[in-house]
Amino acid sequence: MFNLKKNLMLTDKGYSDLKKAIMACFITRMSLLLPFWITILIFGELLKPLMGGALSWQTLWLLFGLGIISALLVFWANKNDYKKTYVTSYMESEANRTRVAEHIRKLPMSFFNSKDLSDLTTNIMSDCAISEHVLSHVVPQLIANVISIFGICLAMAFFDWRLALTVFCTIPVAFLIIFLSRRLKQSLSEKHVESKLKAANQIQEYLDGMKVIKSCWLEGAKFAKLDTALRFLKQMSMKLEFGAGVFVTGTQIVLQAGIGLTIFTGTYLLTGGKIELIPLLMFFLIVVRIYGPLITELVILPELLFYMQISTKRMGTIISTPIMEGDPEKQIKDYHIDFKNVSFSYNHNHKPEKKVINDVNISIPSNEITALVGPSGSGKSTITKLIGRFWDVDQGMIKIGGIDVKTLDPEHLMSYISFVFQDVVLFNDTIYNNIRIGKMNASTEEVMAAAQAACCDQFVNNLPNGYQTLLGENGSTLSGGERQRISIARALLKNAPIVLLDEATASLDPENEVLIQQAISRLIVGKTVVVIAHRLRTVAGANKIIVLNEGQAVEEGTHEQLLHKKGLYAKLYNIQQQSLGWSV
């Protein structure tokens, strides 16, 4: 059975509003009968002189007054319909979008490994928009129309049951066609949605890779995949329209036949003296002006409902994906970090890959600087992200201050941690607001103090609007060093006791590197710091260095101790020292 609340993903308020919208639509449909009823009475009065009676002007004026009242009632019904149907559906759609976005925010990063950005964007925007359209333009009208048609047929049966039966007889046949075609339409709808997603993915990839495409003259080669995706979308759109159109046209022909049968039957009864002219005119007017449009909607609206189910199913898949949960109140009082027999592998499309971290046992002391070093792909960045619970470990346990991070709410855990990534993410907003993300309730003085400590003044003061300068997408108007300083300003403003630095000074020119090192020096004072670095000379002063190789901790100690061991660290350090003398 079609559960409206579940299938439309409605909140309790949304479901309550939907029932009110259905009733409002029904009242609107029924209110349209009033003008036609009054029109019939006026015709009857005007025809009296032709039938040997007397015209009553008093009755005509009374009917005219009732006509004005009926027009006002129709206006009120439509206004009430709009408010109950459209306004509430838009509010419910906003709540749905927010609910999906909030749920996505709480999902583990493993979820994003199996989803494309364009797919998630489609979930929040396109799928919600389709759901919104169906909620405002389809469901209330469809249900109200079904009730109205049965009500109209029942009301007409009081005047003449034969004509009412003639009007109604084609409806079961039409419903049978709609029901039998349901699976085919759903199959075509699913393939159409799939083709839209493929096209969106290719468009996203094409735009993201535009610099490479232009620089390597790949316009034709890279456009081929996009062209194929767009052609497939065109083909599926045509198949969907054709497949649905055949059944819609067939259903409309069957239903319109009901109107023809009514006219034929009515004429037959009139000529046989079995029905009077006025009731027959009433039947004809109601059938043509009200029943006809209702029947047309009754055919078209289910098609939209079938298509909408694909979107709500996709949204439901996201909402049903388990979020990362934990205690939002448990306090961490010590910031010593321990890895106990930790193993972890990334999942791609729910399939585990090779272990990135394999049975790691390490200890990161509080209020000290611990460096993670090793070859590329050894698991350094993964370890920092596991500390922040971006993913949950497959085996073992990570503890901060003796508390398993799996038992903590991710957002609560993140309040204790500041991240400075190599790849900085900035929003298309002002510099001031991008820094303030670190602490949304911070005062202007706090934001400016953090910006100055991160050496942001030196470049911000040269911008036309200072800290109120709007950045492009992901800070595209700034250099890498400038973006990194804004990121450090965020971390300074947050002032979390644990700081995770992932290649914060990589790929920077010497001037920016010096400025960022000064900013980092202010950031890490009195903090538990985990720093990742490929340039080993930058972490030579760390209190502890942990060397990783192929997902395992193979060495640890101070810079001098590791050099003395002459292991992997010493080998990497010597290679880097030799490379310093290289020149073009």
* Element containing residue 364 per DSSP (H, E): strand 357-364
Count CB atoms within 10 A of the CB of residue 4.
Answer: 16
pLDDT bucket at 216, cuts 50 / 70 / 90: low
Give the pairing type, strands 351-352 and 528-532.
Answer: unpaired
pLDDT digits (tens, 9 = 90+) for 118-166: 677 776 777 777 777 778 888 888 888 788 877 777 777 777 788 878 8
pLDDT digits (tens, 9 = 90+) for 75-112: 998 888 888 888 888 888 788 888 888 888 888 776 77
* Element containing residue 502 per DSSP (H, E): strand 498-502
pLDDT digits (tens, 9 = 90+) for 307-363: 777 777 777 777 878 888 888 888 988 899 999 999 998 865 555 567 889 899 999
The Cα–Cα gap between 383 and 398 comes to 10
Q: What is the mean pLDDT of residues 51-79?
A: 84
* Ramachandran sector of residue 507 (left: φ over 0; alpha: ψ -120 to 50; beta: rest): left
pLDDT bucket at 583, cuts 50 / 70 / 90: very low
* Element containing residue 259 per DSSP (H, E): helix 219-271
* pLDDT score recorded for residue 84: 87
Q: For tokens 């992997």, name the residue.
A: 568
Mean pLDDT of the chain: 80
Q: What is the mean pLDDT of residues 1-29?
A: 79
Judged by average pLDDT, the poorest of 24-33, 159-168, 422-431, 471-480 is 471-480
pLDDT bucket at 1, cuts 50 / 70 / 90: very low
Contacts of residue 236, defined as CB under 8 A and 6 or more positions apart, other chains included, come to: 188, 191, 192, 194, 195
- Give 410: exposed, middle or buried? Use CB within 10 Å, 0-12, 13-18, 19+: buried
Let me know: does 91 contact 59? Beta carbons within 8 Å: no
Q: What is the pTM of this model?
A: 0.69
